[in-house]
């Protein structure tokens, strides 16, 4: 990197924040954050030593000498790479971040927007941080007191017992409301949207409880399905236990909401209203359990990653099982302590596959075969209309997205061909 006025005597960004944490291998790492530029950078201890020398008083030569005295080697390549990373993330005073790419041509931009809307499009809620911050100050902080947590835990336990009672003893159905699968589909669709919003709100409120910022939040369309999201990646600046609790808060809200719905259904006489509440509770429980599953890259996975302090656990485990495990077995090599998380995670992934098959068979025998039969025979017209309509909407979004992707690819190919022809003419 060619030194500039900003990098010859580099000065740390005034508002930069630093968080210290420990990686899975026991090494200390640091997270640098510039809240003005909304940028984050993880560096090791040696780079952090260089970062601390960047006070605007020492030039690059003096910083390199200080590093050599500390570690016995010159940091030429390391210092150059670090300056580039700090500059790109606006972590040096007077150093502008790397400019963004120019926007694509207008037709390509339109196709990209159509494709993004069909597959995954976000609609940001600009006031989310202020809203959840105010909600936490006025109401939310009560839920983080010890007495409130004990009461909520008891409510969750009572609600789950009630759910099992209604399902096993009272024979409440998971996929049926008033003898109609179609009505259950409507309840489940509405409940999924509401439960997702409450789930994300749990993450947001817990993030504000630790004084961190919600970077963005809002609604998104994921393959045509509406959903809510909250970006709490600012929690990287908080302690490890805080990150775990923020990840846990979403599923905890699911279980609490499900328990409250179940308790309400339990105290009602058997009726349509009670069945609606029971199906909605099932949706909340299912959503929470799926998110807690550490074998999917959802809340449970990030809880496990933070607990073990092994970033990229899933990728590393699958690579170990595929490449290293067979060689160790053939060579009868002993497993090291570092191998254990990868072996266990790989084994759990295999067990989860078996469990998934068992659950599919259970639900098929218990519920799903009746749903399919009702759709196939036409004995439940409402189910056929609703399920068919949802399938049509989902497939339409996918088809539109695929067409937009194809047109965008053809447009890029055509523009590339035009540039090659133009370049060829110039050469001649």
- For residue 77, being part of any structural domain is answered with yes
- For residue 193, being part of any structural domain is answered with yes
User: At which of 88, 120, 149 does a domain end?
Assistant: 88
Q: Do residues 62 and 129 both lie within one domain? A: no
Q: Do residues 16 and 152 both lie within one domain? A: no
Q: Do residues 238 and 112 both lie within one domain? A: yes
- For residue 161, being part of any structural domain is answered with yes
Q: Do residues 31 and 123 both lie within one domain? A: no
- The alpha carbon of 166 is separated from its chain's Cα centroid by a whole number of angstroms, namely 33
Give one DSSP letter per residue of 324-349, joined into a string. IHHHHHHHTPPPPTTTHHHHHHHHHH
**pLDDT (tens digit, 9 = 90+) per residue, 1-44?**
454 545 578 899 888 888 887 765 667 888 898 888 888 888 88
User: At which of 25, 56, 88 does a domain end?
Assistant: 88
- For residue 99, being part of any structural domain is answered with no
At 219, phi and psi to the nearest 5?
-115, 150
d(CA 83, CA 354): 49
At 28, phi and psi to the nearest 5?
-80, 135
Q: Which domain holds residue 46?
A: 5-88
Q: Do residues 256 and 131 both lie within one domain? A: yes
Contact between residue 391 and residue 383 where contact means Cβ atoms under 8 Å apart: no
Q: Do residues 84 and 113 both lie within one domain? A: no
- For residue 120, being part of any structural domain is answered with yes
Structure tokens at 329: 């077995």
At 20, phi and psi to the nearest 5?
-105, 135
Structure tokens at 315: 């990728």
Give one DSSP letter per residue of 355-417, joined into a string. HHHHHHHHHIIIIIHHHHHHHHHTS-HHHHHHHHHHHHHHHHHHHHHHHHHHHHHHHHHHHHH
Q: Do residues 153 and 43 both lie within one domain? A: no
At 337, phi and psi to the nearest 5?
-65, -30
- Each as own residue / partner, the long-range contacts of residues 39-43 (CB below 8 Å, 24 or more positions apart, any chain) are 39/89, 39/90, 39/91, 39/97, 40/89, 40/233, 40/236, 41/85, 41/86, 41/89, 41/91, 43/82, 43/85
Q: What is the pLDDT of residue 175?
A: 80
pLDDT band at 166 (very low <50, low <70, confident <90, very high): very high
Q: What is the pLDDT of residue 274?
A: 93
The dihedral built from the CA positions of residue 187, 193, 199 and 202, taken in this order, carries a sign that is negative
**pLDDT, mean over the chain:** 80
Q: Do residues 32 and 140 both lie within one domain? A: no
Q: In what order do the strands lie in the sheet with 17-22?
A: 17-22, 28-34, 39-44
Q: Do residues 141 and 182 both lie within one domain? A: yes
Q: Do residues 280 and 396 both lie within one domain? A: yes
- For residue 96, being part of any structural domain is answered with no
Q: What is the pLDDT of residue 148?
A: 92
**pLDDT (tens digit, 9 = 90+) per residue, 195-208?**
999 999 999 999 99
Contact between residue 35 and residue 17 where contact means Cβ atoms under 8 Å apart: yes
**pLDDT (tens digit, 9 = 90+) per residue, 318-355?**
888 888 888 888 787 787 777 888 888 888 887 877 87
- Alpha helices by DSSP H, listed for 210-271, are 240-267
d(CA 409, CA 402): 10
- For residue 319, being part of any structural domain is answered with no
**pLDDT (tens digit, 9 = 90+) per residue, 235-286?**
988 888 999 999 999 999 999 999 999 999 988 988 889 999 999 999 999 9
Number of domains in the chain: 2
Q: Is the pLDDT score of 218 beyond 60?
A: yes
Residue of 174 and 232 predicted with greater confidence: 232
Q: Do residues 160 and 25 both lie within one domain? A: no
Structure tokens at 382: 């409402």
Structure tokens at 257: 């909401």
Whole-structure pTM value: 0.74
Q: Do residues 297 and 150 both lie within one domain? A: yes
User: At which of 20, 53, 88 does a domain end?
Assistant: 88
Count the neighbouring beta carbons within 10 Å of the beta carbon of residue 381: 12
- For residue 391, being part of any structural domain is answered with yes
């Amino acid at each position: 990197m060619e030194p500039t006025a900003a990098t010859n005597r580099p000065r740390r960004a005034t508002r930069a924040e630093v968080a210290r944490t420990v990686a899975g291998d026991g090494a200390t790492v640091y997270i640098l954050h510039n809240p003005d530029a909304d940028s984050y950078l993880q560096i090791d201890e040696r780079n952090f030593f260089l970062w601390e020398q960047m006070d605007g008083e020492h030039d690059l030569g003096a910083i390199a000498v200080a590093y050599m005295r500390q570690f016995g080697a010159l940091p030429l390549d390391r210092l150059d790479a670090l300056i580039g990373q700090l500059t790109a993330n606006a972590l040096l005073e007077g150093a502008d971040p790397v400019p963004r790419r120019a926007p694509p041509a207008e037709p390509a931009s339109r196709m990209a927007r159509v494709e993004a809307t069909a597959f995954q499009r976000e609609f940001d809620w600009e006031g989310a941080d202020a809203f959840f911050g105010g909600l936490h100050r006025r109401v939310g902080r009560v839920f983080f007191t010890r007495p409130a947590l004990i009461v909520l835990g008891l409510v969750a336990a009572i609600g789950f017992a009630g759910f099992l009672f209604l399902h096993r003893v009272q024979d409440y159905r998971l996929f049926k409301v008033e003898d109609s699968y179609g009505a259950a589909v409507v309840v489940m669709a509405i409940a999924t949207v509401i439960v997702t919003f409450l789930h994300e709100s749990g993450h947001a409120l817990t993030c504000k409880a630790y004084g961190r910022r919600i970077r963005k939040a809002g609604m998104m369309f994921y393959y045509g399905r509406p959903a809510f999201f909250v970006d709490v990646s600012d929690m990287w600046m908080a302690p490890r236990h805080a990150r775990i609790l923020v990840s846990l808060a979403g599923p905890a809200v699911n279980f609490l909401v499900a328990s409250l719905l179940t308790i309400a259904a339990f105290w009602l006489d058997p009726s349509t209203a009670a069945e609606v509440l029971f199906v909605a509770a099932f949706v909340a429980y299912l959503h929470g359990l799926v998110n807690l599953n550490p074998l999917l890259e959802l809340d449970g996975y990030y809880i496990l990653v933070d607990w073990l302090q092994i970033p990229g656990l899933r990728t590393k485990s699958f690579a170990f099982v595929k490449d290293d495990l067979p060689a160790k077995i053939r060579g009868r090599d002993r497993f090291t302590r570092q191998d254990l998380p990868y072996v266990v995670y790989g084994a759990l992934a295999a067990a989860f596959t078996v469990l998934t098959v068992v659950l599919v068979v259970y639900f098929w025998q218990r519920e799903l075969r009746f749903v399919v039969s009702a759709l196939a025979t036409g004995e439940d017209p409402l189910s056929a209309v609703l399920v068919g309509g949802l399938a049509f909407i989902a497939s339409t979004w996918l088809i539109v997205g695929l067409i937009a992707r194809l047109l965008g690819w053809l447009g890029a190919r055509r523009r590339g061909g035009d540039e090659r022809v133009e370049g060829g003419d110039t050469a001649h």
